[in-house]
Amino acid sequence: MFNKSKTGSFALGFFVLASIFTVIAFVSPYWLVTDGKLKDPKFIRIGLWEVCFNGFEEVHHWYDTVFTGCWWIFEEEYYIIHDILLPGFFIATQFFFTITMCCVLVSMFLSFIYMKKEKDDENYVTLLVTLGTVLVIGGFSGIISVVTFGARGDGRDWMPNWEHNDLSWAFALGVIGVIFLFPSGILFLVEARVQKYKKLHEMQSREPSSYTMHERKIAYSGGHTDI
C-alpha cells in the first residue's frame, strides 16, 4: 500500500509528469517542423533522432543525391550532409538531453524502490537524497539542451527555408518535462531532510528512556554492575 507523506507524493507526481513528457520528447521527430505555408518545402521535420526531407539536395553539389522521406538521423546515407545535419549546437542538444533521459530512467528505478521501501529503513534517507540529486542533475542537463536548441534550432543557418520553420510540440513537451524535474528533485531532497530530522528526534527521545532503564537495572542489582 502506498503510504508516503504529502511532500513525497507531490514529488512523485511531478516526476511522473516529467518522465512522460521527457520520454515523448526524446523519441518524437517533432522538435522543428515546417509551418505548411510553403508549397514544396525541402525540409519537413526533425527530432533528436529522426529527420524528414522532401527532395532535399546536398547544398555543396558534390554528390548527385536527393533525400526524400523520414530516416534515422545517423543513417549511413546521410554522411555526405553531416556537416549540415549535425552542427555543434544540435550535437550538444542530443548529448545533454540524452543525459536527462538517462537520469529519468535511473529515477524510474529509484522511485519504484522508494514506493516499496518503509520510512524506518536505514537507507530510506539515502535513497531520497540520491533520487532528488539525480533528478536535479537531469533538470540542469535538460535546461542546457532545450535552451541550446531553442536559441539555434529555427535559425537561418541550419535547415532550409528557415523562415517557415517553427519549434514544435515535442520541443515544448521537452521544456515542460525538464522544468518539472526541478520541483520533483527538490521535493525529494526536502523530504530527505525532514525524514533525517525525524530520525534524529526519535533517537534523542529514546536516549533518556534507555538511560533510565539502565539505572533501574543497577538499582535492582543493589548498585553493582558487571564489568
10-residue block means of pLDDT along the chain (227 residues)?
76 96 96 87 93 84 81 88 90 97 96 83 87 97 96 87 91 97 96 82 61 49 47
Phi, then psi, of 84 in degrees rounded to 5: -90, -45
23-217 belongs to CATH 1.20.810.10 = no
d(CA 145, CA 90): 9
The residue whose grid cell reads 531553442 is: 150
Predicted pLDDT of residue 226: 46
